[in-house]
Chains A and B, each alone.
Chain A
Amino acid sequence: MAQVQEGRQAALPAALETERPKGTTSFGSASLGRLKEAARILAPFGVLAVIWWVIKASFDISDNVLVSPWAVITATVELVRVGILTDFIGLSIQRLGGATLIAVFTAVPIGIVLGLNKNVATAFEPFFRFLQNVSGIAWLPLAVVWYGLSNTTILLVIIYTLTLPLGFNTMLGIKTVPPRYAQMCNSLGASRLRVLRDVYIPGALPNIIVGFRLGIGYGWRALIAGEMLAAQGGLGDMIFQARTANLIDQIMAGMIVIGCLYLVMDRLILQPIEDVTVGRWGVLRS
């Protein structure tokens, strides 16, 4: 919980910082570069595993406190073998995917409307900041009262968590589009819808993508917390259930899977999307 809270605190400055300069990615010596990058990403994890193993081996720590890396690997294999891990990963990803879809179709239009109306945007800004600091997790009790320990409760919390950075960054993106561009489009005979399509949406796209990436990150954390409480399956449920039986190996296996899955999503899907749009657009914009 504390970690999630901390994440929400960091959310606002990160969300405001939309014009992150990005170097252009060279696709030249791609495969060698990829390999080097993979090694650079994996190296610290290897070091950490070694330290973990050394501590476990040399201080005679009870298996009730900390298990060895090997035990975690065995637990992971076992969880996959019985099908729990794969099922629960599927369930968690489905929830995130569904919530993302709903959030995109609500947050982006709301962000656009707010961004286009300076006065409304100004009026709503304190409200936005207020909501930014009431984390999705803080909504859990209310969601449980409304929807019980259910899938809906989990979805509600993720959607809420995703919507804020996505809506906020969309609004910022729209506000950064020079009004001149819209005037230009109007004098070429464009309708309001056309101006939206040709000017505001492409102009705001880099910000929208940044908001999307942030939102998925926060949403993933909220998802785990929601699953822990709602007990409707999923990775969060898995590690929380393991706690009642004191299965430290399963808890740690689950934690590692949660982190790794996010890393994979972020590096293989979100980052490339951001590089293509923000990277290129960013350069184009100057």
Chain B
Amino acid sequence: MTRANGRPKIEVQDVSHWFMQQQTGDEVHALDAVDLTLRQGEFVTVVGPSGCGKTTLLNSIAGFIKPTQGTLLCDGKAIKGPGRDRGVVFQDLAILPWRTVRRNIAHGLEIAKTPKAERDERVAYLITLVGLEGFENHHPHQLSGGMKQRVAVARTWAADPDVILMDEPFAAVDAMTRLTLQEELNRLCLQTGKTVMFITHSVDEAVFLGDRVIAMTARPGRIKEDVKVPVPRAERDWSRYNTDPDLKTVTEHVLSLVRSEHGEQERAQHAEAVQ
């Protein structure tokens, strides 16, 4: 029921972006002619060397930056700016330190003017879902990294956006917690049928979570290969991942793509240093 139904949700067409560097006046070519379609209900992961433009791509879809060139569509309509149809889980979380866990999670619903009773019910449900019972009235500084992570995910979920954009959300979480969060995220996405773009630098994570893995080239970021992951997401957990030969083959393939790009990047940096 939650498999991609084929309808394009987000379309990125021939998007290129150059940043102007303030101090030097140099232009940084961050994205180069990126074409990408996220279909309804699809979970797409993006991997690539750091600095290749992953965050720039996400910011473009979120509507935080307007790319220099190209077209971005959501439900066939041009993306003009940020909106509640596209929720974001930021790499640095952006949880408001002066709000409690409950009020951080309720934030989107407050903005949407959801009636209080409905809001409380939904927040309570999400708090249970992400396992934060008993911490409702804590402030973020009283939480561990993994718990803050859950708050950020729950906040985005509470607002019920169609599309969720996640930027290396589990990078700062310890390894054990990460495994749990990944399984929970997979379950949550299947339950709710969200369309997700998930950026990571972990190949294992990308293959474990994604319907497709987008491997990007070193800067300027281009799509190097769009890899389909064979096993249905509903059947995935870490023990399956560790034993399934098909998943192993895909992981090795993606790893080789990322490795070659990493080598490219190092060679380019070396060449720059020599000049």
> Is B111 on the interface with A (CB-CB < 8 A)?
yes
Segment 75-124 of B: residues with Cβ below 8 Å from A: 81-84, 86-88, 90, 92, 94, 96-98, 107-108, 111-112
**Segment at the interface with B among A39-47, A138-146, A179-187, A259-267:** A179-187
Q: B88's contact among A181, A183, A203, A286, by CB below 8 Å, is which?
A: A183
Collect the chain B residues with CB atoms within 8 Å of residue A194's CB.
Answer: 111
Tell me, in angstroms, the Cα distance from A183 to B84 when the chains sit together.
Answer: 11
**What 1/0 flags go to A173-193 for Cβ under 8 Å of B?**
000001011011111111000
Instruction: Specify the chain B residue showing the minimal Cβ separation from A277.
Output: B98
With most chain A CB atoms within 10 A of its CB, the pick from B94, B107, B159 is: B94
By the criterion CB–CB under 8 Å, are A188 and B97 in contact?
no
Chain B interface main SS type: loop
By the criterion CB–CB under 8 Å, are B107 and A180 in contact?
no
Segment 194-238 of A: residues with Cβ below 8 Å from B: 194, 198-199, 202-203
Interface size of B by CB at 8 A reads 25
By the criterion CB–CB under 8 Å, are B81 and A186 in contact?
yes
By the criterion CB–CB under 8 Å, are A284 and B86 in contact?
no
By the criterion CB–CB under 8 Å, are B90 and A189 in contact?
no
Chain A interface main SS type: helix
By the criterion CB–CB under 8 Å, are A181 and B141 in contact?
no
By the criterion CB–CB under 8 Å, are B83 and A189 in contact?
yes
> Is B139 on the interface with A (CB-CB < 8 A)?
yes
> Is B53 on the interface with A (CB-CB < 8 A)?
no
By the criterion CB–CB under 8 Å, are B97 and A285 in contact?
yes
> Is B196 on the interface with A (CB-CB < 8 A)?
no
Given A283-B141, A284-B139, residue A188 in contact with residue B81 (CB < 8 A): no
Segment 47-83 of B: residues with Cβ below 8 Å from A: 62-64, 81-83
Nearest-Cβ distance from residue B58 to partner chain A, whole angstroms: 11
By the criterion CB–CB under 8 Å, are B86 and A187 in contact?
yes
Tell me, in angstroms, the Cα distance from A199 to B64 when the chains sit together.
Answer: 17
Nearest-Cβ distance from residue B154 to partner chain A, whole angstroms: 13
Interface residues of B (CB under 8 A from A): 62-64, 81-84, 86-88, 90, 92, 94, 96-98, 107-108, 111-112, 139-141, 155, 159
- Beyond the given pairs A183-B82, A198-B111, A285-B97, 17 more chain A to chain B contacts, judged by CB atoms under 8 angstroms and listed by A's residue number, are A181-B94, A183-B94, A184-B90, A185-B111, A186-B64, A186-B81, A187-B82, A188-B87, A188-B111, A189-B84, A198-B107, A281-B98, A283-B141, A284-B98, A284-B139, A286-B97, A286-B141
